[in-house]
Structure 1
Amino acid sequence: SEHFRGSGFKVFARILEGEKNRVWAIPAPGGGSRAFCDRMNSWAQGEGQPGLGYLMVKEDGEGQGPIANNIGPERVAAIIKQMGLNGGDACFFVAGDPDKFYKFAGSARNKVGQELNLIDENVFAFAWIVDFPMFEYNEDEKKVDFSHNPFSMPQGGLKALNEEDPLSLKAFQYDIACNGFELASGGIRNHRPEAMVKAFEIAGYGEETVIERFGGMYRAFQYGAPPHGGMAAGVDRIIMLLARATNLREVALFPMNQQAVDLLMGAPAEATPKQLREAHLRVNLPEKNG
């Protein structure tokens, strides 16, 4: 971001005036051709984005392209050095609020890797994801809310809940991913009732709500429980990777269509009047036009 802050590339410079906004870079080794950069730009527009800023590196190590022409040689050289670029490489840029563009940036990175054959298809690359934020700020409701799993133990326990900024707290949560796909997710349980109540209080829920909605867990923990945790593996996702598929539907025994209907089993079937009465439900279908 600092390479563009106050630069002559006004689009990014204006975006960076926002406190939360950042510029992220996606290096593209071997992608330093106008044809490839134009293709990536068209792909980004097809994804609903205004486009992808890019910088190409000539064989003599100098930058070229609209960004290079506007930010000057010193900033260009700093970007090339930081990203480890060489002649014939390119670098793409995404700007704005990372909370809103991170998924697109990830897709762009994958697209670059696929297009330039940078991905080793014969490798299973595993990664642990740890230190999930315990809370996040809900922009819609203008309040602090749980980020992921409300029943996880915050790092630092009750002391951290009482003394630290909630938005700085990390949780004892973890995922394991393989080739970018989540295989298992888990965490350490918040097994102390007073810590559980405090965590929910920060998110705007009183002790009465905790007892009403999660009474079984709350009362059980009153008798004492040892620290405990675990994780659950997605066997179907493991099979998907072993089968070299990219979509769970390709390995599911009875996949559903886009309307969540199982075409083989004909499920879900229409409920009978007797079933609706037992569930105290009444169906109010929209009138058909014409």
Structure 2
Amino acid sequence: MAESMKGMHRSHRCAEVTEREIGAKVTLMGWVQKSRNKGGIIFVDLRDRTGVMQLIFENGSIDGEGFEKAGKLRSEFVIAVTGTVERRSGAVNENLATGTMEVRVEYLRILAEAETPPFPIEENSKTKEEIRLKYRYLDLRRPDIQRNLMMRSQVAMLTRQFMAREGFLEIETPMLGKSTPEGARDYLVPSRVHPGSFYALPQSPQLFKQLLMCSGYDRYIQIARCFRDEDLRADRQPEFTQIDMELSFVDAEDVMDVNERLLAYLFREVLAVDVPLPIQRMSWQEAMDRFGSDKPDLRFGMELVNVSEVVKGCEFAVFKNALELKDGSVRGINAKRQGGMPRKKIDKLVEFAKGYGAKGLAYAAIQEDGTLKSSFAKFMKEEEMTALVTAMDGQPGDLLLFAADRNKIVWNVLGALRLELAGEMGLLNKNEYRFVWITEFPLLEWSDEENRFMAMHHPFTMPMEEDWDKIDTDPGSVRAKAYDIVLNGTELGGGSVRIHQNDIQEKMFEVLGFTKEQAWEQFSFLLSAFKYGVPPHAGLAYGLDRLVMLMAQEDSIRDVIAFPKVKDASCLMTQAPAPVDGKQLEELAIAVCSREE
């Protein structure tokens, strides 16, 4: 039968006990990891969030009733014990911080009994994620998940401390705001007081933090909850957390400087890893040309090579047709020492490339004796093939892969293929941290769906002054004062210098297809504020979840979030979202219609 605390007080957590406590009495509390009954002696591993301590129950050191209770202990029972710390009489466990010690128990109290859990509470669980998320309260007991969440707490705490020393003020912005166009879909919240009207949960605190700059709070920081109704993937959730900041009287370099120092501080304090400063800068154009991605992974080479000039004039239709396109190109990557890859595996790579928009994938495998096995050599002259292999630095044993299409498709295909091959070739070292700033993004990108230009970041991003004269004649070539911080192929965060002049902001809205009336209807509070003296300002926001995911060397942000959603944005544990009572809908003046499939 479960007992209450009855005045017991924990003196230590399990891993807080050190060899200094040998010979001392301690009181520990936690969960039974496992119990081993050897007859006259019972060994129990006690677990809490810090680690595990071995307990010994032996007739003579604990009264008969206590020994009898110890014999009933099962996995996940919650217990409190008082006993004396001793050196282990048996083998030392070098995998535990407490592996040289044990506690000889003199008093036991069972605080809660437990049914057999639906899966073992252990590190690196092989249980299906769906089961673990259904019983997330049990999954959260796993030591690896607990370490991740403790790391997350530490990162948040250290960020607050660092930013406070840098003069930042932590200010909360509203959760209930106004729905605005651009960006992802909003999560809407109906208003009971204003029937037919809705709040929107914030996709980011963007407008409010710009207003704070207008109000004179020249350094703002917030660890902010944000919401986006978009399709999920491994590093995306419908609700997530940003380290959000904005600074006044600064340019891009000032923002990058304080954030480089923040990242170096976090990695040194949390992981004992030194981040060399300054962090490398790379323009968006260079990143796309070299890596096929604006979030390049710099831990390995296999860079893209533009061979358009080399194959110009050849008769291979795939290359020839691509080069006739307005923005077409032929580019390749060299997978070193992969020339012996079986044809079936190459065919899988072709199908993989098709998933990213390619019509196919041309390849040339250089055998160890220098001969070629190629899908297209028969359409090329010998000297053309030799020039192509030379341009790709092809050596015996290499596999050359080529994509030919519009630049956007070629980049997507080879950028994804480069990462896929790196994974298969074991080139992704999780202990290596390669940061890079990506700068000079295009200000705008064309949307075929909307048939207009869209802001690549958001409508408040400052264009580069030297490109502004092209905003009417060639808007697609205008670069932005935007910058993303990337780590090991993952975008950690992004930011920009903001527009603080009304005329430029109104022109941006015009280019994005807003009339002046529409712009004022949606953003009147911001545009009005700009009339009353707004300082130059810039900012940045990190995905806290992504940052901790990479620091913890996990593959999914679900492993660093206490209660994550799954791919359809539902919670397997609480069964959210769920229908609500008809009375609630009536109060909100909402009718739910069935959707025809």
Same-fold status (TM-score > 0.5): yes
Structure 2 SS opposite 1:268: coil
Written as runs of structure 1 = structure 2, the 5 A alignment for 1:255-274 is: 255-274=564-583
Equivalent position of 1:27 in the other structure: 334
Deviation of 1:61 after TM superposition, in Å, equals 4.8
Match of 2:514 among 205, 210, 219: 205
Kept in 2, the 8 Å contact 1:161–1:195? The answer is no
Equivalent position of 2:323 in the other structure: 16
Equivalent position of 2:381 in the other structure: 72
Equivalent position of 2:546 in the other structure: 237
Structure 1 outlier segments of 4+, above 6 Å: none
TM-score by length of 1: 0.88
For residues 131-186 of structure 1, what are the alpha-carbon distances to aligned partners after superposition, in whole Å with 9 as ceiling and x for unaligned? 11112233344433323311101111895366762111111111111111111111
In structure 2, runs of 5+ residues without a counterpart are: 1-307
CA distance in 1, matches of 2:566, 2:496: 32
Kept in 2, the 8 Å contact 1:25–1:91? The answer is yes
1:43 to 2:349 alignment? yes
Equivalent position of 2:152 in the other structure: none
1:223 to 2:532 alignment? yes
Note closer, same or farther for the CA distance 1:40–1:281 as it changes in structure 2 (3 Å cut): farther
Note closer, same or farther for the CA distance 1:174–1:210 as it changes in structure 2 (3 Å cut): same
Deviation of 1:92 after TM superposition, in Å, equals 0.6
Match of 1:105 among 380, 393, 414: 414
Equivalent position of 1:91 in the other structure: 400
Deviation of 1:42 after TM superposition, in Å, equals 1.7
Kept in 1, the 8 Å contact 2:329–2:410? The answer is no
Structure 1 SS opposite 2:421: helix
CA RMSD of aligned residues (A): 2.5
Note closer, same or farther for the CA distance 1:224–1:40 as it changes in structure 2 (3 Å cut): farther
Note closer, same or farther for the CA distance 1:62–1:76 as it changes in structure 2 (3 Å cut): farther
Kept in 2, the 8 Å contact 1:41–1:51? The answer is no
Equivalent position of 1:277 in the other structure: 586
Equivalent position of 2:500 in the other structure: 191
CA distance in 2, matches of 1:253, 1:272: 28
Match of 1:143 among 434, 452, 471: 452
TM-score by length of 2: 0.45
Aligned residue type for 1:68: A
Match of 1:252 among 539, 544, 561: 561
CA distance in 2, matches of 1:45, 1:112: 14
Note closer, same or farther for the CA distance 1:275–1:24 as it changes in structure 2 (3 Å cut): farther
Note closer, same or farther for the CA distance 1:72–1:122 as it changes in structure 2 (3 Å cut): farther
CA distance in 1, matches of 2:346, 2:557: 27
Match of 2:365 among 37, 56, 59: 56
For residues 13-44 of structure 1, what are the alpha-carbon distances to aligned partners after superposition, in whole Å with 9 as ceiling and x for unaligned? 22332222222212101111251x54132233
Moved more, 100-109 or 83-92: 100-109
Structure 2 SS opposite 1:2: helix
Note closer, same or farther for the CA distance 1:266–1:66 as it changes in structure 2 (3 Å cut): closer
Q: For the pair shown, which has the larger CA radius of gyration, 1 or 2? A: 2
Deviation of 1:274 after TM superposition, in Å, equals 3.0
Structure 2 SS opposite 1:3: helix
Kept in 2, the 8 Å contact 1:40–1:52? The answer is no
In structure 1, runs of 5+ residues without a counterpart are: none
Q: Which structure carries more helix by proportion?
A: 1
Deviation of 1:192 after TM superposition, in Å, equals 0.8
Q: Which structure carries more strand by proportion?
A: 2
Structure 2 SS opposite 1:284: coil
Moved more, 141-150 or 42-51: 42-51
Aligned residue type for 2:346: M
Aligned residue type for 1:130: T
Structure 2 SS opposite 1:54: strand
Deviation of 1:209 after TM superposition, in Å, equals 1.4
Deviation of 1:50 after TM superposition, in Å, equals 4.8
1:169 to 2:475 alignment? no
Deviation of 1:236 after TM superposition, in Å, equals 0.9
Note closer, same or farther for the CA distance 1:85–1:101 as it changes in structure 2 (3 Å cut): closer
CA distance in 2, matches of 1:133, 1:203: 14
Note closer, same or farther for the CA distance 1:112–1:96 as it changes in structure 2 (3 Å cut): same
Identity rate of aligned residues, in percent? 33
Kept in 2, the 8 Å contact 1:21–1:98? The answer is yes
Moved more, 254-263 or 183-192: 254-263
Aligned residue type for 1:282: A
For residues 239-279 of structure 1, what are the alpha-carbon distances to aligned partners after superposition, in whole Å with 9 as ceiling and x for unaligned? 21122222222332212123211122332232222332343
Deviation of 1:123 after TM superposition, in Å, equals 0.8
